[in-house]
Amino acid sequence: MRIIIIGGVAGGASAAAKARRTNEAADIIMFERGPFVSFANCGLPYYVGNTIADRNELLLQTPESFWNRFRVEVKVGHEVLRINRSQKHVKVKNLNTGAVFSEPYDKLILAPGAGAIVPPLSGIHAKNIFTVKTVPDSDAIKSFITEHLTKQAVVVGGGFIGLETAEALMNLKLDVTVVEMANQILLPFDQDMAVLVSAHLREKGIHLIEGDGIRAFHEQDDLAYETELQSGQRLPMDLAILSIGVRPELKLAREAELQIGDAGGIVVNDHQQTSDPDIYAAGDAVEVRHLVTGKPTRIPLAGPANKQGRVAGANAAGGDLHFPGALGTAIVETMGIIAAKTGLSENDARAHGFDYFVSVTHPLDHTGYYPGAEQLHVKLTVEQKTGKLLGAQIIGEQGVDKRIDVIATALTAGLTVEDLEQLDLAYAPQFNSAKGPVIMAGFVAANTLRGEVQTITNEELQHRLTNNPNLQLLDVRNPSEFAEQHLPQAHLIPIDSLREHLHELDPQKETVVYCRVGLRGYLAARILLQHGFEQVYNLTGGILSYPLLSENKKTPNS
């Protein structure tokens, strides 16, 4: 059996190794058009910023190591030009010599990945405008900074790689501006969560422009010296990094007439088989079944790509593995703040037509009396009738990773928020609380599910305040908290004296109660409901993140 793999990195390299472990007798050849067969592309921003000092640490495998360990023949600098399905061979060009030749196959694995998007803007090809997709990209950035006086950098795009690169450039003592065309950074997140990150970045000294795109780069002597925005604003620059997104490499698949799906990727089944049973595909170019919606989507992340490659390699070599799908679990750290997401955001749930509610909590990452506790911001998306978890977003400075992984596991298992509140998780003061962040999020969401309290989101409250002049808004915090910051038209009655002041409120009016993070609001709602108030809502998550939706100026105090 002869297996040919097109593309290396995560999907292709994983496929090659698994194919060999599955079939010792197979003849396996991998073609990679770049100079490296397998490298840690997620580590590139950290190499740019000198967090990873040794470039060789990024090179996971070489052609020599692949041959020595797996007896896989790797040919870098070789581009596959065409797939001939009827004759079962590929046309290959040696990019170093220009020679073109054909190679036959019994099974073929496509792992072409995705390329960085470079829009056709004036000046976009100036020598000081870069992407961060490959090792040579990173080498070029580092060489330019070393050889030129570089003070001001513009990062185009506020996604994961863009924010990681912005931090890397800040580490190099550059003045950094991030430009995001959408009205928020981190588009997979809901705005009320993303705004926590943008406020933190501004506080740390990154200039952040949202809701404005790039019109052109102005250049002189092949170097861009200014970025012109669509608003007309102009930013002086010595260096620009494009991090606008990636586009799947579909040229070979289209020309071979393989099926391309509505989500814009190669269609595969759970064996990673394409519409041609002798051709498999894995990585950023394929469509993936989303484990919550059940619908095909594209999830260009290293985790799914590695698992898909493993399945494709095994099955191409005669095995029988399955890839069920993915949740899109992802995490990013920038300038000391961490943002993680799994499953569906509120925006996602709305777009897919789910009947859902959201629950927001702001617990500490471990017990408050133990030194070093930091606040987390947790948002759950929950199916309304069943309580089944649909997704989660978590923002914070520590402890984010293990909480998102717990919830991703719960999502995979199809658990409900009532299951979440009963999880038996490890507790010691320096690691967690007895009612830790995940369990607390389960408590709060389960209370809503069981009808113990009705909640209202920040967005819904702003809409109500605009359209219902008779809304009764009750602040149940302390007078000092109220004096520092409160919502317009709010009536202050501290929670501990609420029972003695119920006569000040109208039980016939729609009432929204709030506190700092939601707990005292929940207690107040329970009191009101048991004293004849019928339309009572607790502001989920409290006032903590509410002002950020409109002000977007500061990080909430912990």
- By annotation, the residues acting in catalysis are 42
DSSP 3-state percent helix, strand, coil across the chain (nearest 5): 30, 30, 40
- DSSP-derived secondary structure letter, 420: H
- CA dist 264 and 93 (Å) reads 27
Strand partners, 339: 332, 395
Cβ within 8 Å of residue 425, ≥6 positions away: 406, 432, 436, 438, 439
- CA dist 184 and 550 (Å) reads 12
Strand partners, 536: 511
Whether the CB-CB separation of 283 and 298 falls below 8 Å is answered with no
- CA dist 287 and 270 (Å) reads 11
State phi, psi for 484 to the nearest 5 degrees. -70, -40
Q: Locate 73 and state its tokens.
A: 């023949």
Q: Locate 525 and state its tokens.
A: 């709602």
- CA dist 174 and 170 (Å) reads 5
> Quick one: residue 157, left, alpha or beta (phi over 0 = left, psi -120 to 50 = alpha)?
left
DSSP SS3 for 322: coil
What's the first-to-final CA gap in the chain, in angstroms?
A: 61
Whether the CB-CB separation of 198 and 208 falls below 8 Å is answered with yes
Of 112, 139, 143, 158, the closest CA to residue 11 belongs to: 112
Cβ-in-10-Å burial (0-12, 13-18, 19+) of 81 comes to: middle
Cβ within 8 Å of residue 226, ≥6 positions away: 217, 218, 234, 235, 236, 237
Cβ within 8 Å of residue 245, ≥6 positions away: 116, 117, 157, 159
